[in-house]
Amino acid sequence: MEFSCKEFKVGKCEGEKIVDGETLPLVLQPREANKSDLESLLLGLNKNKEWFEEMIIKNSAVLLRGFDVNKAEDFNDIVETFGWEDIRYVGPAPRTHIYKMIWTANEGPLSEFIYYHHEMVLIKEYPKKVILFCEIPPPEGGETPFVPSFRVTERMIEEFPEEVKEMEEKGLKYSFSAPSNSDRTSMRGRGWEDAFGTSDPKEAELRAKGLGMDVEWLPNGGLKTILGPRNLTKVFEGRKGRRMWFNTIVGMHGKEISSATMADGTEIPEHVVKRCGEIIEEESIQFKWEKGDVLFLDNYALLHGRRPSLPPRRVLVATTK
């Protein structure tokens, strides 16, 4: 599919890569210098909704840069232009609701690396798109690296064909323990009351089960969630038949508050998990955030994370179906 849109021109950013013939991210800038205002951007997006969504699927990542996007309300206007349905975040990251569809991204310490993941990969209903807005770019670090998921699958099959086959056939099982109340000093410190939107344990159990989780109550009032079986890879319509590495074994395997095994309890070999983490990092793509950047990620196709950074850094997020 050729690029053809008179409202935008293609730009470049440091760190972009060509993957399977496509540029990641596709950088879109104002066609003319006097067309960088928010109103012109909203008009351009509204006129090209279908085309823009095709670009997200084609390139997996689209970066709007050089437009006057200044605050959460502006960001929300951009997201709402497309009419995509909001999807509530369920997961361990501490977040704060800002405005309508807009939330803070993970509020865990900026000094910590947030590991690569497909958003809400373990939940029955996960977002199709993750959209990020840079309100305050960090002075150093703080990039949001992303990884073409199919490349991880290809390389893991090349290096560990038997192990991948076994995990694919057996499926995966995960566990994760959450405290009662949120701990914002931890990047995985979201409490179960906030995650499930209730302080009633019975209601929390019902909501967890509705999301495909089994639960165990801990002596300290915390909640252990158990999820499985889950797929190792997935193939999504419209994405060239690519097998996406749609799991979080590296992020959850052998951690203090989480685990990842095969669904029958078989341990995943440590050397396989370690090498998978190396492959994911080798395939990563990143750029320096600039104020006003809006990044659209195809959550079906990309894992993403967060590099450690110096403060201040403020990136907001919307997740949609």
Q: What is the CATH number of the domain that holds 97?
A: 3.60.130.10
50 and 158 within one domain: no
DSSP character at residue 99: E
What rounded mean pLDDT belongs to the chain?
A: 95
Which residue segment(s) compose the domain that 65 sits in?
Answer: 8-145+286-320
Question: Which pLDDT does position 1 carry in this prediction?
Answer: 46
* Bridging pattern class, strands 243-244 and 234-235: antiparallel
Distance between terminal CA atoms of the chain? 24
Q: Which residues pair with 168 in a beta bridge?
A: none
pLDDT digits (tens, 9 = 90+) for 81-91: 999 999 988 88
Q: Do residue 220 and residue 296 come from a single domain?
A: no
CA distance 284 to 278: 10
pLDDT for position 182: 87
User: CB–CB of 107/95 below 8 Å?
Assistant: yes
Instruction: Please compute the mean of the pLDDT values over residues 283-308 and round it to a whole number.
Output: 98
pLDDT at 2 over 70: no
Residue 178: inside a domain: yes
Residue 96, domain member (yes or no): yes
Identify the CA nearest to 128 among candidates 15, 238, 18.
238
Tell me the C-alpha distance between 43 and 30, whole Å: 12
Q: What is the pLDDT of residue 98?
A: 97
**Percent of the chain beyond pLDDT 70?**
99
Co-location of 29 and 53 in the same domain: yes
Looking at the fold, whether 139 and 175 belong to one and the same domain comes out as: no
Mean pLDDT of 302-307: 98
* Domain assignment present for 3: no
Q: Tell me if 296 is assigned to some domain.
A: yes
Question: Looking at the chain, how many residues does it have?
Answer: 321
CB 138 within 8 Å of CB 306: no
Q: Are residues 269 and 182 in the same domain?
A: yes
Query: Which position has the higher pLDDT, 181 or 269?
Result: 269
pLDDT digits (tens, 9 = 90+) for 128-185: 999 999 999 999 999 999 999 999 999 999 999 999 999 999 999 999 999 998 888 8
Asked if residue 1 is part of any domain, the answer here is no
Within-domain flag for 2 = no
Measured between alpha carbons, how far is residue 27 from residues 10, 81, 128, 154, 259 in Å? 6, 19, 20, 26, 37
Structural domains of the chain, count: 2
Angle between helices 38-47 and 49-59 (to 10 degrees): 80
Q: Rounded mean pLDDT of 4-28?
A: 95
